Structure 1
Amino acid sequence: MAGVVLVLDLGGHAARCFAYLASGERLAQSMEPIATAHPARGRVEHDAAALLQACRQSIGAVLAQLQPPEQGVPLAISCQRASVLAWSRDDCRPLSPVLSWQDSRAADRIEACRQHWPELQRISGLRPNAFVGASKLGWLVEHVDGLRVRLQTGQALIGPLASFLQQALIGEAQARCAYTLAQRSLLFDIQRLTWSASACALFGLRADWLPRPQPDVQVELFGSLPWSTATSLRCELQAGDQNLLPAALSEHGTSPTIINLGTGAFVLSPGEAGPGLLRSLLPTADTPDATAEGTVNAAGAAFEWLAKQRHWHSTPWQAIRSPGRDAPLCLPAPSGLGSPDWRALPRFEFSAEPADDAAAISAVAEGIAFLLRRNIDCMRAAGSDPIALGGGLSRSEDFCQLLANSLQRALYTVDEDELSAYGAARLLWRIHGIELPAPRVAARFTPNARATRIGEQRYQRWQAEFFP
């Protein structure tokens, strides 16, 4: 057993690699930025070859920090769940751009099969929507020259980004797809744990065009890579990034309700999903567990959109405050609405023009908080216990306080600021009989009574304004 485990975490802004010791200490880390293209309304893309190169560079930079390099270093691949592409089966050459999870170009394909939505939700556990993989995979087959023929002759594959990365990085002959990632395609039968032929057929696809599904945690089954003469990597985990959060925060087999604030925002809560929400699989070594999930398509992405519109060189996070009673309201949905409303068309709108930059950023922050509240209100088992926060935006204490006021819930952050990566590290070390400690509470945020009263009035006005 190696003295460290590596976690490759490919998000919306960067490919990052982390090395964790058996104590839970983060020994080394590296980050390689990635570019995102928006070629047309509703289209969000990445260059697949550039992402692969960024991943290789990030892994290489971390290995260069480890002394001495080791053989058989366990590796986890954590990736955005609904980003998809097409690639060559034999040499892993990309045959398309990566269509981001935020991409909604194929929304019409979801709408066209509306009569089959109940069946698709029964099969996959997901509410059909334009942001999961199925419609985008169907779009690729129709619009990428020669792809259908390559798929029919066994020369190409389509599927989640993590499957491409695993095959391309590790050099495995057969691409594989973790259950948590397969589910996010809308094509995976969560009872039978295999691709659904009927779901595939609705989108003009075949199950044999997709990578082989298997549990997220597999010792060596994902493949082993001789990285250099002195070092080899053994891929033991492939998982969706958000699905790793409960593994990071669970204690004694239980996990709190969690909000992750990244490019988008997600709420994960133990128990059953209410109407409009998702039933999301969690990574395990065998039959996966499930959690209720709510999704907000833009959190960090909403602030980026605002920054571009107002020509900011940097985002004035320190200006975030709980808005006053008569301040403008905002619906910050530049990538459309996720649960529980599921609207694919982008919409970013203020109820009135903000007086200044502080009013604008506070209105956007409050709008994100209100979208999260719509999801939490739909969760049957969210309870009243404090909610754990993770993700880059949780580093803004002002935003966290506004969120506590808007949700009317106590919140807390922990001393581990990379929860997806830490969740992957805990699962990797657990395979080898070592239990990493759960992160400790770093800061607590309690709702302010006056701000909460004003916030409740504003929430009711906000719902009337944008969800009449």
Structure 2
Amino acid sequence: MSGEPLILVLDSGTSSTRAFLYDTAGRIHGQASRPITQHYPAPGLVEHDADEIWTQSRACLAEVIAAAGGASRIAALGLTNQRETLVAWDRRTGRPLARAIVWQDRRTADTCDALRGHEPEIERRTGLRLDPYFSATKMAWLLEHGEAVRSAGDALAFGTIDSWLLFNLTGDHLSDVSNASRTLLLDLDGTAFAEDLCDLFAVPRAALPRIVPTAGPLGTLKPALFGGAIPLTASIGDQQSATVGQGCLSPGDTKLTLGTGAFVLTNLGPGRPAPAAGLLGTVLHQVAGHPRHHALEGSVFVAGSLVKWLRDNLGLVASAAETAELAASVPDNGGVTLLPALSGLGAPYWKPDATAAITGLTFAATRAHLARAALESVSHQMADLAAAFAAADAPWTRLRLDGGMSANDWLAQDLADMCRLPVHRPADVETTARGAAIMAAVGAGLYPDLEQAAAAMTPATHRFEPRDLASQRASRLGAWRALVERA
């Protein structure tokens, strides 16, 4: 490779897949994006076409590689992906055996209820709750309801989106430890999927991938794909990647990603997380040859997808940016409170069967009040999460904000007010891709450790200070918590 080292990133999200090209100073030299179709075959069901995800991902990568001058210009590839979404495919043909079941899907709620007696042990070992959010019950559902999946025999391959893309990119059936820790099948300190957990969920362990670190020499892309053998040096779940991309590398550092959902992660360092009410323990990252780091996580299922619903399903706004203008156009929510349980409620409530609701509507209510109530619902959930983290002895001292929805200044200020914390937002909010670039740079040996890579590749931030709005805050949270109780 001649010239400055360039790092290629594939960011495979829920609504789009994107490719980025970074240099070792963190500057972006190119990017490409393609949409991913959302399929909603019935209430509570959310699916993707895995072939579409691969086709769109390959097109994005090819576009960026060509713009860079060819595969010989790429020093490393880092992959980051939507987590928990499950793909089943035939390892002989490489073709999906069913549509992918997306992390938001709620079809396995009854399966989770039937296993509820095992939840304390599962939570102690995996850090996770029994919830349709995670991948294991999706595997069991496909085995029960998918004839092609059931009849695949030894050719059956199960994997989250990282596994599906890595299989297509390298030919190997792999999953990095950050994604594997989201399946309900991996002990937090395990190096392979636990046989007894696989038996509990009726998942054949032979169908599962080999677990690898998040950074290191993980493989090589098939030369025929892009005209050269590009080294694969990082693979990491999107929320863990955003944590690294925000420079949250020390215990106590906390980030909030506002994308389709809203995800808070607090770095706990190498220590294994203890069970915490309403929160999840998860693997944050592992550089090859080093101990894995863990995080405490609060996962909210609906954030940016609520604004998308207001725009696409209700026609309430013409664009996501319009919500900030509408929210600022009224002095308060006019008594309107919105519960955004379009896919159940995640942390810290964990009510998978909850449905969305709006209270306080009168003839005086306008679309501005509804738009404001929608944005406020994000802040309300974050205020409750802040209390849950504090109760788990992991209080937030500041919040580092990223994701597409974080560009909304009104929401960023409201989060500071409701959480009573400074909110820091980087100049470049694409921290998920940046985190994968940082991990890939370390995995390729371009930097000796994450601290030096993050210091060189993380941008400056803008700060939102909390205002003293005690009475308004108490009134809003009172109405909000009453609505949650009725869910």
TM range (shorter): over 0.9
The CA distance in 2 between the partners of 1:365 and 1:239, in whole Å, is 29
Residues 57-115 of structure 1: CA deviation (Å, up to 9, x unaligned): 00011012113541664111111110001001123211111111101111111110000
8 Å contact 2:249–2:267 — kept in the other structure?
Answer: no
Say if 2:33 is the partner of 1:25: no
Aligned equivalent of 2:319: 314
Amino acid at match of 1:320: A
1:433 Cα shift?
3.5
The CA distance in 1 between the partners of 2:313 and 2:418, in whole Å, is 25
Aligned equivalent of 2:395: 383
Residues 139-173 of structure 1: CA deviation (Å, up to 9, x unaligned): 0111111322313xx11111212101111122x2x
The CA distance in 2 between the partners of 1:369 and 1:269, in whole Å, is 18
Say if 2:162 is the partner of 1:149: no
* Among candidates 193, 196, 204, match of residue 194 of structure 2: 196
Map 1:244-393 to 2 at 5 A: 244-250=241-247, 253=250, 256-271=253-268, 272=273, 274-286=276-288, 287-312=291-316, 313-315=318-320, 316-317=322-323, 318-321=325-328, 324=332, 326-353=334-361, 355-379=365-389, 380-393=392-405
Amino acid at match of 1:185: T
Q: Secondary structure of 1:260's match?
A: strand
Residues 269-312 of structure 1: CA deviation (Å, up to 9, x unaligned): 13356312001111212432101100100000111222244324
1:324 Cα shift?
2.6
Aligned equivalent of 1:457: 475
Give the gaps of 5 or more residues in structure 2. Answer: none
Q: Structure 1 segments of 4 or more deviating over 4 A? A: 227-230, 251-255
Percent of residue pairs identical? 28
1:250 Cα shift?
2.4
The CA distance in 2 between the partners of 1:265 and 1:229, in whole Å, is 34
Mark the CA change 1:125 to 1:260 in structure 2 (over 3 Å): closer, same or farther: same
The CA distance in 2 between the partners of 1:143 and 1:42, in whole Å, is 17
8 Å contact 2:108–2:137 — kept in the other structure?
Answer: yes
Deviates more, 1:244-253 or 1:325-334: 244-253
Aligned equivalent of 2:184: 186
Mark the CA change 1:438 to 1:168 in structure 2 (over 3 Å): closer, same or farther: closer
Mark the CA change 1:230 to 1:87 in structure 2 (over 3 Å): closer, same or farther: closer
Deviates more, 1:79-88 or 1:253-262: 253-262
* Among candidates 223, 242, 246, match of residue 239 of structure 2: 242
What RMSD over aligned residues (CA atoms) do the two structures have, in Å?
A: 2.1
The CA distance in 2 between the partners of 1:108 and 1:23, in whole Å, is 49
Aligned equivalent of 2:166: 166
The CA distance in 1 between the partners of 2:123 and 2:369, in whole Å, is 40
1:384 Cα shift?
4.8
Amino acid at match of 1:205: V
Aligned equivalent of 1:50: 52
Deviates more, 1:108-117 or 1:73-82: 73-82
Mark the CA change 1:406 to 1:414 in structure 2 (over 3 Å): closer, same or farther: same
The CA distance in 2 between the partners of 1:384 and 1:147, in whole Å, is 44
Number of residue pairs aligned between Structure 1 and Structure 2? 462
The CA distance in 2 between the partners of 1:143 and 1:440, in whole Å, is 47
* Among candidates 192, 206, 209, match of residue 207 of structure 2: 209
Map 1:63-212 to 2 at 5 A: 63-67=65-69, 69-70=71-72, 73-151=75-153, 154-170=154-170, 172=171, 174-212=172-210
Say if 2:220 is the partner of 1:223: yes
Mark the CA change 1:158 to 1:65 in structure 2 (over 3 Å): closer, same or farther: same
The CA distance in 2 between the partners of 1:69 and 1:168, in whole Å, is 17
Q: Secondary structure of 2:466's match?
A: coil
8 Å contact 1:71–1:233 — kept in the other structure?
Answer: no
Q: Secondary structure of 1:444's match?
A: strand
The CA distance in 1 between the partners of 2:446 and 2:138, in whole Å, is 40
1:125 Cα shift?
1.2
8 Å contact 1:71–1:230 — kept in the other structure?
Answer: no
The CA distance in 1 between the partners of 2:279 and 2:248, in whole Å, is 25
Mark the CA change 1:25 to 1:325 in structure 2 (over 3 Å): closer, same or farther: closer
Map 1:421-432 to 2 at 5 A: 421-431=433-443, 432=445
The CA distance in 1 between the partners of 2:216 and 2:396, in whole Å, is 36
The CA distance in 1 between the partners of 2:229 and 2:424, in whole Å, is 39
Residues 409-446 of structure 1: CA deviation (Å, up to 9, x unaligned): 21110122210111111111123142432534432111
The CA distance in 2 between the partners of 1:141 and 1:366, in whole Å, is 40
Aligned equivalent of 1:8: 10
The CA distance in 1 between the partners of 2:461 and 2:446, in whole Å, is 27
1:368 Cα shift?
1.4
1:390 Cα shift?
0.5
Mark the CA change 1:130 to 1:252 in structure 2 (over 3 Å): closer, same or farther: closer
The CA distance in 1 between the partners of 2:267 and 2:440, in whole Å, is 22
Name the TM-score, length of structure 1 as normaliser: 0.93
Amino acid at match of 2:395: G
8 Å contact 2:416–2:422 — kept in the other structure?
Answer: yes
1:453 Cα shift?
2.7
8 Å contact 2:333–2:373 — kept in the other structure?
Answer: no
The CA distance in 1 between the partners of 2:94 and 2:204, in whole Å, is 20
